[in-house]
Amino acid sequence: MTLPRRARAKTMVLPESLCFHSGMSFAPPPPPNLSGDEPFEGLHASVIDFWRFAMSDLRTNNVRGYLAEFLVAQAVGSVTRRVEWDPWDVTAPNGTRIEVKSSGYLQAWTQQKLSTPIYRVAAAYGWDSSAGAWSVEQTFNADVYVFALQTAKSHEEYDPLQVEQWMFYVANRKAVEAQAGARMGLVTLARVCGEAVSYDGLRHAIAAAAGGEPHQ
């Protein structure tokens, strides 16, 4: 498969199942819903053993991002699964497209000082996994943007499973577009999004940013 020139710079390797060979496409079937109990063939281990190996530390940057997306999905009652290459992260039951960015003060490694939460959203080419193609133009692909902040400032208090340790800044696409891809700290986020909300207020904040009432 030959990607447009603009896509090559941002794409290292396409998933093999999405590559085209001699005009043929190889579309993967929907993934199964794994419980974790499924055993590996030829190995004394199950899927949950792999999950423990790969994703037990919820503080790492990539897994913290997955966790933030999961919290947003739970807040809006999303029933769809995360798709790695989708142009946005969460789809609400009413069709609202949500992009999630996460940050925090603490990292999974030794720090000399607390991290400064910084967020950035820029227009991007969207990947259509069903068609195996990039969008023609760079756009802001979500309706609502959620900037999630893990607020713990000491490892003694840091508990990834405590939802109350998260705060969320929520904005609509128009407000984010106006920033033109600029890096945003918490002061800028407060100006763009308004006051941060706790998890309990997240669903209503997303609905308000989308211009409608929460989906029942």
pTM over 0.85: no
Q: Retrieve residue 7's tokens.
A: 């896509």
Instruction: Single out the residue of 205, 209, 102 nearest to residue 160, CA to CA.
Output: 102
Look at residue 1 in the predicted model and tell me its pLDDT: 43
Look at residue 131 in the predicted model and tell me its pLDDT: 64
| pLDDT less than 70: residues of the chain | 1-23, 127-131, 212-216
Instruction: State in Å, rounded, how far the first CA of the chain is from the last one.
Output: 43
